[in-house]
Structure 1
Amino acid sequence: LFEHAMFSSTMVGRGKPFPDLFLHAAKTMGFAPADCIVIEDSVAGTQAGIAAGMRVFSYHADLFSDRDGLAEAGGVLFDDMRDLAGLVPIL
């Protein structure tokens, strides 16, 4: 079901923390970066999403996650996937 919407860093010249992958995905799917959200669990991914001009939700419930780094990178922090639906703006 998601074959048309799966993206990998092998599709772009630079991986995270550069925004290339997120920008490529948005362009391929026909969306402006400002109309996209990113759900991330890494500092580099959060940095990439922010650099792409997207709103980033940063999951930090994993014991090894860097909560402070995710916050510093600019992500909207959350620690329970059940809360995500209430955080994502539906326009």
Structure 2
Amino acid sequence: LARFENRRFSAVDVARPKPAPDLFLHAAQRLGFDPRRTLVVEDSPLGVQGAFTAGMTVIGYAELVAPERLVAAGAAHTVSDMRELLEFVG
């Protein structure tokens, strides 16, 4: 995870905010990642929609939002505890 330290991307970096895929594509490009091989964790339906539209695999973090809403927006899976993410990463 050290490669992500001090790396922040926000709506001010792109022309269109979520749910447009711009922010996700911008971050992938800056980090040198292939969007089709990128895993995104999002906690809002608009964020899930943006990452999904960018061609990324999305895990919905369902702490404050119903899991069904995140799945409807494009999440492949949902978790309610960040520790559950370990099953999705090597």
The two structures have a TM-score, normalised by structure 2, of 0.87
> How far apart are residue 87 of structure 1 and its match?
2.2
> How far apart are residue 79 of structure 1 and its match?
1.0
Instruction: Specify the alignment match of 1:30 in structure 2.
Output: 32
> How far apart are residue 56 of structure 1 and its match?
0.3
Mapped pair 1:84 → 2:85: yes
> How far apart are residue 68 of structure 1 and its match?
2.0
The two structures have a TM-score, normalised by structure 1, of 0.86
Query: Structure 1 stretches (4+) deviating beyond 3 angstroms?
Result: none
Q: Distance in 1 between matches of 2:20 and 2:67?
A: 20
Q: Distance in 2 between matches of 1:23 and 1:43?
A: 17
> How far apart are residue 67 of structure 1 and its match?
2.4
Encode CA deviations 1:14-33: one digit per residue, 9 max, x unaligned: 01000000000000111110
> How far apart are residue 61 of structure 1 and its match?
2.2
Secondary structure of the corresponding residue to residue 50 of structure 1: helix
Residues 30-39 or 49-58, more deviating: 30-39
> How well do the aligned residues superpose, as a CA RMSD in angstroms?
1.3
Q: Distance in 2 between matches of 1:45 and 1:33?
A: 15
Q: Which runs of 5 or more residues in structure 1 are unaligned?
A: none
Instruction: Specify the alignment match of 1:52 in structure 2.
Output: 54
Secondary structure of the corresponding residue to residue 55 of structure 2: coil
Q: Check whether the contact 1:42–1:66 (CA below 8 A) recurs between aligned residues.
A: no
Q: Check whether the contact 1:43–1:66 (CA below 8 A) recurs between aligned residues.
A: no
